[in-house]
Amino acid sequence: MADALISPLVGGVMWTAAAGSIAYSTAKIKNELGEKKVPVMAVTGAFVFAAQMINFTIPATGSSGHIGGGILLAGLLGPFPALLTIAAVLIIQALFFADGGLLALGCNIFNMGVIPCFVVYPLLFKPILRKGFSVFRIGGAALVSVVVGLELGAFGVVVQTLFSGITALPFSTFVLLMLPIHLAIGVVEGIVTALVLNFVYKMRPEILESSEQRIPLAKTVPVKKVVLLLGLITLLVGGILSIFASAYPDGLEWAMEKTAGTAELEAEGPVFRQAEAIQEATAFMPDYNFPGAEEDGSVAGTAVAGIVGAVLTCLLAGAAGFIIYRLKLRHSGNAA
């Protein structure tokens, strides 16, 4: 979401909700974070950043979509590490690539992180796997959970614009466009999520099993091969496949164009100007390209942005996990 889609009041409320969810996750993650999960947390965050750069065309709509990654991360890491990781992805996107508004960052973390990790994962994904893990159950849980999570997130966007008083996006029209297009996007993301989760499960089933049980990965479980392979895939996705992303507007932009006649609304006021000024100061590759790049430089810029963004996300998510893990060890030592 861009800042123009919400009012400062709604933005502030959602920032508070997102910050509270992150703080809660930081406290709860201490029970399940071990030294083996930190590198997995880092590399999966990088993977989601790179994968979000690939917009895939939705046939016969003139629209495109990209994965959200909330259910994928929750399946690999558990809900609390997943929320911190998706927050890292969205923070890097907003600050360094001007993708998503800074005022709207709380909304984006809530819609793409809190809803799938705190609502859909425990109420839908885990119950489907209650009888045990199998390729079929993992695939079914991924597909159903992603579709429901994306629909709830899309509805969240509509509600947030409604409470913000965005008259250019009337509720009934906007919701009737947002939900169907995100249903189609959710099916594709669900298939991708199922493939990735089953890929990791086949290589190292303990990763998914420990996340479902919310316990640390045993120190005897080797994760180096999984981390290296996911890292290599991330570099290929961010540095090469991102170049071939669909040029069609994504689901939100498409719904806005159909509703309001434009995908870029305008917002006036000191809060919006301040948020924009901060992003202009921090975003060194706005829109995933070199500043001022012409059309002939877009391919190189996209490739560089994909790799740089993935690396930055890896560092931020990994640093968050490492710091929390070290604090956990220190607290355990003091308690002993």
* pLDDT digit string, tens, across residues 31-79: 788 889 999 999 999 999 999 999 999 999 999 999 999 999 999 999 9
3-state secondary structure of 57: strand
Cα torsion 29, 30, 35, 36: sign: negative
Per the CB < 8 A criterion, the answer to whether 219 and 36 are in contact is yes
3-state secondary structure of 63: strand
For 212, the enclosing helix (H) or strand (E) is helix 205-213
Cα torsion 164, 177, 249, 265: sign: negative
What contacts 164, CB < 8 A, 6 or more positions away?
5, 6, 7, 9, 10
pLDDT tens for the 336 residues of the chain, in order = 999 999 999 999 999 999 999 999 999 987 788 889 999 999 999 999 999 999 999 999 999 999 999 999 999 999 999 999 999 999 999 999 999 999 999 999 999 999 999 999 999 999 999 988 999 999 999 999 999 999 999 999 999 999 999 999 999 999 999 999 999 999 999 999 999 999 999 999 999 999 999 988 988 999 999 999 999 999 999 999 999 899 999 999 999 999 999 989 999 999 999 999 999 999 999 999 888 764 544 688 899 999 999 999 999 999 999 999 888 878 766 655
Q: pTM for the full model?
A: 0.95
As separate numbers, helices (DSSP H) first and strands (DSSP E) second, the chain gives 13, 2
Q: Which two structure tokens, joined as six digits, stand for 281? A: 């100061």
